[in-house]
């Protein structure tokens, strides 16, 4: 199928197809034990999204509890510094501090609807874990969160938040002890109890229907952004930028602009500390097609199909694969993905702090760094950046950096 046809199908809402494929990416590559659970979840999700009562309930939670719509903000001092018109979508102002709540809330509502007795989740930076813990607390569902032992340490404030909300946090010491290992363990847990447990996957990755359902719940970011740009800026952006690990904030954000051919879509991947294997998590820049965690997408792997270790200052982007829909967007040329190194992200984080008084998470700091790069050599472009989370959770990392730099001046 040609790239144009695939893009048209995507814009028209025809992808994923019935088998969960976005072109040649996606699918459902899982042990047989999980198939019935995935089918039940898909059926439950389709029923929910077609049900006006469900939509009303979701909207109510979004408005009164999540704080939607989140603001769109013009950034005057950043605009001057970049010689651009810079607009920020403030997902950091959503309840629990990141876009993750959009998906966690939606899936928790479906979990309840399909009669799940408990929820299991994985988390990298802790934002998805906190969001899931919060949604489960609100809906009265027991919640277990798997988190890599390394991430437990580097995102300690979020671990405490999860505990306080009644979730059980299980540190994972196997494998690389980061997000990938946490996903492995959450899936293993789910394989052990597919009937009683619902697994709230936190990104647009994994077997069908997860990439689809996560996108559906994150689309609210793009839909709001599109409307708010027209209302406030009186125009659409020339460039829209979001960070991508698994890619949930980016896919929801991009979806608001997919049909607007003049809006360039750009994803910022974790460039880590270098371009060599094991030094980064830039899946699209350094990966090849492969199957991990139930889905075919771009994957960081060696020639034998073993998944590579990754590195990034941001636990949320530290994942060797990317959502299959992003792989398709790159394949058809609708979105472009770029590696952004740790130090560039931190510089961008500092710039937003100092010029606008906003401490972003290190994940969207990657998007800010990329946006700044893209503004160079252009004449006063209108750029929209999705600030998908706030940086409070990153204090341990930032404190360590400040100590290395001889203390904050």
Partner 1 sequence: MKPHQRIAQAIIAGREQHGIALVAYVTAGYPTLDAFPEILKEACAHADVVEVGIPFSNPIADGGTLQESAREALKRGATMTKIMRTLRDLDGTLAAPLLLMGYLNPLLAYGLDRLADDAIAAGVHGVIVPDLPLEALGMARPLTDASLATIGMVSPVTSDERLARIAEHATGFVYAVTSVGVTGQKRSDQAQIIGYLTKVKAAATIPVCAGFGIRSKQHADALRGACDGVIVGSALMEAVGQGRDVGSVLAALR
User: Pairing between strand 295-299 and 288-292?
Assistant: antiparallel
Establish if 29 lies at the interface with partner 1 (CB under 8 A). Answer: yes
Q: How many residues bind partner 1 (CB under 8 A)?
A: 34
Establish if 174 lies at the interface with partner 1 (CB under 8 A). Answer: yes
Q: Which is nearer to partner 1, 58 or 281 (CB)?
A: 281
**Only segment of 5-13, 87-95, 138-146, 180-188 that touches partner 1 (CB under 8 A):** 180-188
Establish if 27 lies at the interface with partner 1 (CB under 8 A). Answer: yes
Q: Which is nearer to partner 1, 187 or 315 (CB)?
A: 187
- The residues in 302-331 that bind partner 1, with binding defined as CB under 8 A, are 303-307
**Only segment of 75-83, 244-252, 290-298, 359-367 that touches partner 1 (CB under 8 A):** 290-298
Distance of closest approach, residue 27 Cβ to partner 1, in angstroms: 6
Establish if 31 lies at the interface with partner 1 (CB under 8 A). Answer: yes
| Cα 393 from Cα 270, distance rounded (Å) | 18
Establish if 231 lies at the interface with partner 1 (CB under 8 A). Answer: no
Asked whether the beta carbons of 256 and 222 are under 8 A apart, the reply is yes
Distance of closest approach, residue 24 Cβ to partner 1, in angstroms: 11
Say if residue 50 is exposed, middle or buried (CB neighbours under 10 Å; 0-12, 13-18, 19+): exposed
Distance of closest approach, residue 316 Cβ to partner 1, in angstroms: 19
Distance of closest approach, residue 294 Cβ to partner 1, in angstroms: 7
* DSSP sequence for 265-287: EEEEEEEET-SSTTS-B-HHHH-
Q: Which is nearer to partner 1, 231 or 304 (CB)?
A: 304
* DSSP sequence for 305-330: SPBPP---S-GGG--SB--HHHHHHH
Handedness of CA 227, 232, 237, 243 (dihedral sign): negative
**Only segment of 57-65, 295-303, 337-345, 357-365 that touches partner 1 (CB under 8 A):** 295-303
Q: Which is nearer to partner 1, 58 or 187 (CB)?
A: 187
**Structure tokens that stand for 409 in this block:** 């001046």
Quickly count: other Cβ atoms within 10 Å of residue 274's Cβ: 13
Asked whether the beta carbons of 363 and 316 are under 8 A apart, the reply is yes
Distance of closest approach, residue 308 Cβ to partner 1, in angstroms: 8
Which of residues 1, 13, 19, 379 is near partner 1 by CB under 8 A? 19
Q: Which is nearer to partner 1, 30 or 340 (CB)?
A: 30
Distance of closest approach, residue 306 Cβ to partner 1, in angstroms: 5
**Structure tokens that stand for 193 in this block:** 């109890």
- The residues in 184-213 that bind partner 1, with binding defined as CB under 8 A, are 184, 187-188, 191-195
Establish if 37 lies at the interface with partner 1 (CB under 8 A). Answer: yes
Task: Give the long-range contacts of residues 38-42, CB within 8 A, separation 24 or more.
Answer: 38/207, 38/208, 38/209, 40/114, 41/110, 41/114, 41/198, 41/209, 41/213, 42/208, 42/209, 42/213
Establish if 293 lies at the interface with partner 1 (CB under 8 A). Answer: yes
Q: Which residue has the tokens 């006063």?
A: 380
Strand ordering across the sheet containing 168-172? 168-172, 143-148, 118-123, 197-200
Report the interface residues with partner 1, using CB under 8 A.
19, 27-33, 35-37, 174-175, 180, 184, 187-188, 191-195, 290-294, 299, 301, 303-307
């Amino acid at each position: 199928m040609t790239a144009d046809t695939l893009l048209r199908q995507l814009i028209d809402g025809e992808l994923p197809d019935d088998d969960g494929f976005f072109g040649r990416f996606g699918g459902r590559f899982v042990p047989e034990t999980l198939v019935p659970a995935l089918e039940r979840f898909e059926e439950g999700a389709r029923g929910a999204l077609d049900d006006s009562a469900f939509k009303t309930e979701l909207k109510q939670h979004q408005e009164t509890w999540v704080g939607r719509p989140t603001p769109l903000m013009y950034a005057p001092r950043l605009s001057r510094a970049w010689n651009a018109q810079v607009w920020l979508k403030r997902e950091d102002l959503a309840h629990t501090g990141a876009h993750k709540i959009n998906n966690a809330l939606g899936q928790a509502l479906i979990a309840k609807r399909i009669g799940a007795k408990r929820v299991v989740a994985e988390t990298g930076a802790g934002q998805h874990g906190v969001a899931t813990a919060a949604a489960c607390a609100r809906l009265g569902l027991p919640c277990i969160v798997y988190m890599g032992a390394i991430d437990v340490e580097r995102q300690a404030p979020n671990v405490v938040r999860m505990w306080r909300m009644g979730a059980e946090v299980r540190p994972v010491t196997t494998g690389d002890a980061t997000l990938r290992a946490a996903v492995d363990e959450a899936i293993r847990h789910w394989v052990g109890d597919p009937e009683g447990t619902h697994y709230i996957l936190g990104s647009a990755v994994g077997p069908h229907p997860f990439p689809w359902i996560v996108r559906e719940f994150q689309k609210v970011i793009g839909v709001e952004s599109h409307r708010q740009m027209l209302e406030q800026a009186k125009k659409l952006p020339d460039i829209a930028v979001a960070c991508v690990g698994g890619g949930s904030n980016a896919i929801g954000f991009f979806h608001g602009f997919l049909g607007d051919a003049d809006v360039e879509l750009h994803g910022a991947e974790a460039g880590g500390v270098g371009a060599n294997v094991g030094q980064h998590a830039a899946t699209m820049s350094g990966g090849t097609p492969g199957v991990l965690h139930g889905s075919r997408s771009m994957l960081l792997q060696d020639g034998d199909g073993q998944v590579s270790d990754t590195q990034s200052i941001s636990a949320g982007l530290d994942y060797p694969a990317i959502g299959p829909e992003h792989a398709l967007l790159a394949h058809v040329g609708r979105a472009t993905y770029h590696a952004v190194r740790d130090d560039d992200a931190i510089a961008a984080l500092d710039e937003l702090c100092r010029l606008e008084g906003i401490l972003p998470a290190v994940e969207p700091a990657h998007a800010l760094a990329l946006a700044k790069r893209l503004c160079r050599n252009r004449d006063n472009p209108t750029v929209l950046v999705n600030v998908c989370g706030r940086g409070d959770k990153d204090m341990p990392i930032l404190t360590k950096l400040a100590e290395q730099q001889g203390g904050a001046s």
